A and B are shown apart, each in its own frame.
Chain A
């Protein structure tokens, strides 16, 4: 016992000894939990049914001829709750019950309740007319729920379906990790192939694989049932063979150090870049359009990420800079702009756009930045709207055309080499790609600079940052301006792509969607933000832009909301979280964990150094 043993060390309870095999708890069901989960699922099912999704999507076949997308959305929840029911919060020192038959029984019960929701709905549909408040309360829905039979058939069949699916969901927990992986991959592969049909067909055509596409998909849409089985089989096998490979590779990558690591990263980046350059060549117009849209949002999200993710300023009016960028580019390049028509080449205009947007950033930022937290968020929200209303106003309609906006914006000429416009989405994508690369570079460099550290400090504790000699106002303004400039790039490309700008393109919804992309992807993490944009914008679609799931575009906001809620519950730090941000969210738990694992710094030098470094590099 040396004198330097820490004071705190003696005050805290002793560390739990290594846990021996937990005693298997007696078989028991938490019926309240089942009832709660089941009831929520039942309400969810009713909600989905009444949201009109099943009826609207019934036309769209997923697996021909057995399953339509409409039914798929009704089948999803029972499986999910059946699986979820078996979830246990794992606590240190508390034994975990082993999976067993009770998983199936519990899943069965949850699924039964979930299906029951639809049974009840079917009966209600048959006997009451609530069309007044609930617009989708229709005989068509009843018919769909009854599979064309009578009401009582509907009531019974959904109980059976729900229970069966719930039990299946619960049974997944009984599988070993390998078979579970296989099953999940199979299900995802079929669902993915079905849902991403347009993309797959488009790519297959680009690569001259039409035959494969024809075999996979039926003529009127949907995966052929026999191809579905084949695909599931292949993917299942692949999943089993490839198990752990990815994780292994990632771990190996994480262990790399110094130049090796730099080299590995460089290789990864080069590979990604090559893929992004080559892919559009094989893709059709549709896919390229999609890629271009995703790119525009990646650019916006990267810009907002500097503001929100790096500097921690919650900006709810980011669309303002997108709008200013678009309008500036429009005024400067279009011959039809109402007041001045300099008709600059796009690249020249871009320089002016950057300067003007930067100034607007300063102008908006200066008053806003002095506020903190919620106040700041509200004020930025206001400014976002003000900018749009200014473009819409009669007062400035002499400049910006009011509600008619500015049309006939010419294509963006790049050094006379090419003309980029919406008619050729592939070129738009390449242009966007260049600017995305620029935005990635800017974020990456700035984060690791004096300015980036200052942002971090401001995000952590503004008062202390100020006391450490950081001019917080300047530093935050800088973040605002960098964000504004990146947003304006996206705006200028958008103007050239679409060929016209209207105030209606810059609704507050755009700000929200960009923010959702950033939060969903992982605030403060460049890769995360890109992934977030790819998933949300690419799959679901942007505020106005269709995504891969064209069918869902009507329900886009609903799904956005649901996804965001789920995300906040399951992975609050986002899809691919930034290490630092995760720490900020879980600081206390992590300190606790570190202590439990005996890795906290407790003053005895050297001994634990190695294990601690390993933990820190996680």
Chain B
């Protein structure tokens, strides 16, 4: 199990994010067990695995939502361990949530505006004195928010911008989550099942968007996905987890034909395709 790969010997600087023998325990349960993997700049990595494999836990550990019990997480050469979640976001890692968690009563636009918090700096005094710097920054926040929402075509702009987020359709909520992540101006985006619950058309559309996120915005992306079609479409590399352990890694074709992977999925009797 512990074949300590640390693949593609890090040509220093190439690896944007590295987890080194990362473990997360919940009581007796090893949700992640000595997981080592890396994401390079402008790379799209898919993380797949049966339900309960520890995929979301991996995201939670990276974003400091849960505490790692052993190992290290290194982002741009610096360890993220011990940071508060907001500091991790400030370093440049943004995420979406598997169970969509928008600020439901804030408008679509406000959701995106508030997510630029860590990239802006006007504080109370600027607001109270209504300084030029404050007004300029507000305008800039707004402009940027509209630009980001515009990335999703006509889905989120126009009258919808001013509607509370809870009135959005399911697919649009997922889009807004991504918009919010983009607004934090990250280097790396973690997408947790971005197309879950979407119909094939929407899902195909979003798959295209994920590619554009990398090409046009330059983000590195880690995406958790159950839909193998999407995985094949978007990923440069696929990492397969099972019971918190990495059982395979490589490009889609290699992974899909890996007997261990097939075993993991078929053994479950549910899940994969």
Contacts and interface: CB of A to CB of B under 8 A. Distances in A.
Size class of the B contact interface (CB-based, 8 Å) = 35 or more
Nearest to A614: B159
A454 B103 CA distance: 11
A128 to B, nearest CB: 56
B137 A6 contact: no
A423 interface: no
Given A467-B63, A613-B159, A583 B164 contact: yes
Interface in B8-23: none
A584 B103 contact: no
B103 A482 contact: no
Interface stretch (B121-129, B208-216, B229-237): B121-129
Contact of B103 (A449, A464, A609): A464
A449 B128 CA distance: 9
A600 B123 CA distance: 36
A448 B103 CA distance: 16
Given A7-B199, A587-B105, A467 B162 contact: no
B70 interface: no
A240 interface: no
Contacts of B101: 461, 463-464
A470 interface: yes
B201 A4 contact: yes
A445 interface: yes
Nearest to A453: B114
A605 B158 CA distance: 10
B256 interface: no
A467 B177 CA distance: 12
Interface string A538-573: 000000000000000000000000000000000000
Contacts of B118: 468-471
Interface string A463-480: 111111111100000100
Contacts of A456: 103, 105-106, 110, 114
A182 interface: no
A580 interface: yes
A601 B114 contact: no
A441 B128 CA distance: 8
Interface in A420-474: 441-442, 445-446, 448-454, 456-457, 460-461, 463-472
Contacts of B110: 453, 456
Contacts of B123: 450-451
Nearest to B202: A4
B184 interface: yes
B167 A594 contact: yes
A450 B86 contact: no
Interface string B95-122: 1010001111110001001110111101
A236 to B, nearest CB: 42
A52 interface: no
A480 B166 CA distance: 29
Given A446-B124, A450-B127, A609-B158, A469 B202 contact: no
Interface stretch (B28-36, B168-176, B242-250, B262-270): B168-176
Contacts of A450: 117, 120, 122-123, 127, 137-138, 141
Interface in A575-593: 580, 583-584, 587, 590-591
A468 B170 contact: no
A473 to B, nearest CB: 8
A472 B102 CA distance: 16
B69 interface: no
B89 A468 contact: yes
A84 B110 CA distance: 41
A329 B141 CA distance: 41
A485 to B, nearest CB: 10
Nearest to B126: A449
A48 B160 CA distance: 52
Size class of the A contact interface (CB-based, 8 Å) = 35 or more
A612 interface: yes
A359 to B, nearest CB: 16
Contact of B124 (A482, A600, A603, A616): A482
A8 B171 CA distance: 10
A8 B126 CA distance: 45
A4 B94 CA distance: 29
Nearest to A451: B124
Given A457-B114, A460-B103, A468 B122 contact: no
Nearest to B120: A450
A461 to B, nearest CB: 6
B59 to A, nearest CB: 10
Interface string A108-143: 000000000000000000000000000000000000
A545 B233 CA distance: 72
Given A453-B110, A469-B89, A601 B128 contact: no
A25 interface: no
B152 to A, nearest CB: 12
B203 to A, nearest CB: 11
Given A4-B202, A460-B105, A470 B86 contact: yes
Nearest to B89: A469
A587 to B, nearest CB: 6
B164 A468 contact: no
A445 B138 CA distance: 12
Contacts of A591: 166-167
Given A601-B167, A613-B159, A467 B114 contact: no
A605 B154 contact: yes
A600 B120 CA distance: 33
Contacts of A464: 97, 101-103
Contacts of A446: 124, 127-128
A525 B126 CA distance: 22
B50 to A, nearest CB: 24
Interface in B56-87: 63, 65, 84-86
B134 A449 contact: yes
B26 interface: no
Interface of B: 63, 65, 84-86, 89-90, 94-95, 97, 101-106, 110, 113-115, 117-120, 122-124, 126-128, 130, 134, 137-138, 141, 154, 158-160, 162-164, 166-172, 180, 183-184, 197-199, 201-202
17 contacts: A6-B171, A441-B128, A446-B124, A449-B122, A451-B124, A452-B127, A453-B106, A454-B117, A457-B114, A460-B104, A467-B89, A472-B86, A587-B105, A587-B166, A600-B167, A601-B167, A616-B164
Interface of A: 3-4, 6-8, 441-442, 445-446, 448-454, 456-457, 460-461, 463-472, 478, 482, 580, 583-584, 587, 590-591, 594, 600-603, 605, 609-610, 612-613, 616
Given A467-B95, A468-B184, 6 more contacts: A449-B138, A450-B138, A466-B85, A466-B86, A580-B106, A613-B159
Shortest 4 CB-CB distances between A and B: which pairs? A469-B118, A449-B127, A469-B89, A453-B114
